[in-house]
Amino acid sequence: MARRSFLPESFLWIFPLQQAAELIIALALFNKAYGLYALLCAFITPLSFTQVVMALVSLALVFPYAMSIPVIRALPVTGSGPGALASTMASISPSTMSPKDIINKIPIVLLACVLYTFDLVLTIFSGVIFAHDWAEDCEECDAAAAASTAASVSATLSDAVSATATATATATASVVSSAASAATSAVSSAVSSAASATSALVSAATSSALNVATSSVSPDDETRVRFGLRDATDRDLSLDSASRGQETAATIIIAVFLLLVRIYFALLLLSYGIKLRALLKQLKTNQTQLQTHGHGSRLSVPEANPLRPWAQSRPSIGGGGIMEPNPGAGDTDPIQGTDFGPYSPDRSVPYYLDSLWRSFALKSFDFISGQKTSRDGVY
């Protein structure tokens, strides 16, 4: 009966879907930014140089750690501790992956863990920058809206005061003219008529001014349209504000969800990588012991490779899997051989590059996981 892997089966399906979703977001927002950071910066333009560089790095890292999916499928870690090696090897078919293949391919998964963790830190840092830029943008919009509203109210009150003053002056002139031309017997009736006219004009002007001021500061759009005081600029500002609020809410919800998914996957990959690192150390220890005591094993027998003939007699830094000592140089330790240095005269460039990325993957994973690298710098 096959043992259950440390990684859930659903992870092998959800992880590629999550990468595809972020790639779709990047393509949809190609004119603004790239990667998950594009979702955060979709409504902030123009982007700074730092923001564009961070977004490009986030998108570029989608592909390397996606290459680790086949290796994760073929390496189900089914235990922990001293029994992890035996249980894991029992669950792997020899025809699918040999022990030497396991040693060669584990650094690929460890490199994916390192890149995914780096991408997560980059995303969190990008979110902090986004929140800062968004707050500044909102403050500028609020200040502009407040200034526009204050100017509109001030103009309305000025018009109301001017209308009241004009009505009062007209009523006073009418009273003086009537008093001068009327007879003495009609003074009382003229004064009464002037008073009623003044009262009516002042009441009408005051009522009009109050209605105009109320409609200018009221949040009710129907009242503002009824008095014809809502211009095109005000309507555009209100529509932009409503649309911006909806876009902000949708952006925050999607970004937080994807960020939580990233954190979960990063922790899961980190735990899986720690178990793979322990498995790799056990395999290398067993291989070294077999070679030191002179016992033949499939782990110590190099496979013929016409493309890399130099790899049949020298080890690969970071898990090349070829650990046969060089009998001509008298090497007995496959790790501390005399010709193990990275600057051997017959060392080719492809082999050096292959050794370099494996060494980087193992050392960087040991750093982020808090493990101590052995004295050889690799295992």
Distance CA 285, CA 379 (A): 9
Domain endpoint, select from 240, 256, 287: 240
Please write down the long-range contacts of 355-358, taking CB distance under 8 Å and 24 or more positions apart. 355/316, 355/317, 355/318, 355/320, 356/317, 357/107, 357/111, 357/318, 358/107, 358/316, 358/317, 358/318, 358/319, 358/320
DSSP letters spanning 148-190: HHHHHHHHHHHHHHHHHHHHHHHHHHHHHHHHHHS-GGGHHHH
Distance CA 116, CA 121 (A): 9
- Sign of torsion, CA 181 190 206 229? negative
Tokens representing 141? 């919009």
| Segment of 93-97, 181-185, 263-267 carrying the highest mean pLDDT | 263-267
Distance CA 320, CA 102 (A): 10
pLDDT band at 50 (very low <50, low <70, confident <90, very high): low
Q: Is residue 296 part of a domain?
A: no
For residue 104, pLDDT over 70 is answered with yes
Interior angle at CA 328, CA 323 and CA 330, nearest 5: 70
- What local confidence, expressed as pLDDT, does residue 305 receive? 44
Q: Is residue 211 part of a domain?
A: yes
- Sign of torsion, CA 105 108 110 113? negative
Distance CA 279, CA 87 (A): 11
- What local confidence, expressed as pLDDT, does residue 323 receive? 42
Higher pLDDT, 367 or 193: 367
- What local confidence, expressed as pLDDT, does residue 308 receive? 43
The phi, psi pair for 190, rounded to 5°, reads -65, -45
Q: Is residue 371 part of a domain?
A: yes
| Segment of 127-136, 159-168, 171-180 carrying the highest mean pLDDT | 127-136
- What local confidence, expressed as pLDDT, does residue 88 receive? 64
For 51-55, 148-152, 203-207, which range has the lowest pLDDT when averaged over its residues? Answer: 203-207
Q: Which of 348, 286, 293 is nearest to 316 (CA)?
A: 348
- What local confidence, expressed as pLDDT, does residue 281 receive? 77
- What local confidence, expressed as pLDDT, does residue 204 receive? 57
Q: Is residue 343 part of a domain?
A: yes
Higher pLDDT, 54 or 15: 15
For residue 168, pLDDT over 50 is answered with yes
Percent of the chain with pLDDT over 90: 0
Average pLDDT over all residues of the chain: 61
Q: What is the pLDDT of residues 224-281, one digit of tens each?
A: 444 444 444 444 444 455 566 666 677 677 777 877 888 888 888 888 888 888 777 7
Q: How many domains is the chain built from?
A: 2
- What local confidence, expressed as pLDDT, does residue 261 receive? 82
Q: Is residue 27 part of a domain?
A: no
For residue 15, pLDDT over 60 is answered with yes
For 131-140, 197-206, 350-359, which range has the lowest pLDDT when averaged over its residues? Answer: 197-206
Q: Is residue 254 part of a domain?
A: no
Mean pLDDT of 128-148: 69
Instruction: Fill in the amino acid letter for 228.
Output: G
Name the CA dihedral angle for 124, 127, 129, 135, rounded to a multiple of 10 degrees: -150
Residue 332, classed as helix, strand or coil, is: coil
For 2-6, 80-84, 169-173, which range has the lowest pLDDT when averaged over its residues? Answer: 2-6
pLDDT band at 2 (very low <50, low <70, confident <90, very high): very low
CB distance 363 to 373 below 8 Å: yes
CB distance 141 to 241 below 8 Å: yes
Mean pLDDT of 1-19: 65
Residue 198, classed as helix, strand or coil, is: helix
Q: Is residue 203 part of a domain?
A: yes
Q: Is residue 317 part of a domain?
A: yes
- What local confidence, expressed as pLDDT, does residue 262 receive? 81
Distance CA 340, CA 328 (A): 14
Mean pLDDT of 330-356: 47
For residue 169, pLDDT over 50 is answered with yes
pLDDT band at 378 (very low <50, low <70, confident <90, very high): very low
- What local confidence, expressed as pLDDT, does residue 186 receive? 53
Residues 236 and 313 both lie in one domain: no
Distance CA 28, CA 26 (A): 6
- What local confidence, expressed as pLDDT, does residue 136 receive? 75
Domain endpoint, select from 219, 240, 261: 240
Distance CA 333, CA 316 (A): 14
pLDDT band at 345 (very low <50, low <70, confident <90, very high): very low
Domain endpoint, select from 192, 209, 240: 240
Q: By residue range, what is the domain housing residue 316?
A: 302-379
CB distance 45 to 29 below 8 Å: no
For 252-261, 303-312, 363-372, which range has the lowest pLDDT when averaged over its residues? Answer: 303-312
Q: What is the pLDDT of residues 315-326, one digit of tens each?
A: 444 444 444 444
Residue 131, classed as helix, strand or coil, is: helix
Q: Which of 80, 2, 69, 7 is nearest to 282 (CA)?
A: 80
Mean pLDDT of 363-368: 82
